[in-house]
Structure 1
Amino acid sequence: MGIQYGTSYSSTDDSKLAPGTKVDAGVRRFHNDFSLATQGGGTQDTPLVARIREGCAVCAFELSSSVDLSGLTFKLGIATDDDKYAVAFAGPAAGKTVRAPIVPAMLAAGALEQREDIILTPSANMPAAGVVCTELFASKR
């Protein structure tokens, strides 16, 4: 049985180093809380999840809520491409957390060349009360 090397290792050159954002990478955590009573509740405004800098690569996202958001879908992206990182994933039930499936092309992509403001786009108005917590994880060189 042979070994499949993928893109992080080389079968012909043991000295080839994997990209620093892919293997043995440090991870930055971007946590943000939104009180829906005062910060966009009852609207379809797009919460700013994180500002990530160049050299980072988005690797995971979690959404938690004190209120039921299971009737909504969300996209994770940037202003010019609102589903760059995650496409139409279901929101969490009250008191639960969901992990968004990151688009495979973004998991395979290299590090960012410039800063990005990551936004969460709801499919409809958010509830007017409750708390939403976001956790974005990005590997760094």
Structure 2
Amino acid sequence: MSAILLLYTIDRRHLPDLETGDNVIAEHALRVGDDYDWSGYCMFFTLMYLEEQGITFGTVGEYTLLTPEDRPAVDPARHNIDDLAACLMEELDDGVDDEETAGWTSQAGLESLQLLHDHIERLNGDRVLLLRIC
């Protein structure tokens, strides 16, 4: 089973409308992050790792909300990528504990953090980043 990561930017004023689900995403959001090549589970477990580090993000309905203020929290330079890779390896346990697995989990974790960091950096005005894994 796989999961898909969906990323959008949207103006903050539309956030309350997300609770009602009246086509807010289709009408007001811009899809970003199509260059993410990993399973949505890699991002899910990256977020779980961040939470274990004491970093939490807001939620709106079924979306995780990231704001410009969250940019330092997802800066890859602030995290031990080996620890993140170990978390991903444990959660995505494919039964193989070798250098090859450690390599791809390191890459997946690093790219997950970098993707969030880069998209938060590009936010302007009152826009925020919405993340959904489905």
TM class, shorter-length: under 0.3
Instruction: Return the structure number with greater strand share.
Output: 1
| TM-score, normalised relative to structure 1 | 0.23
Instruction: Return the structure number with greater helix share.
Output: 2
Q: Which has the larger radius of gyration?
A: 1
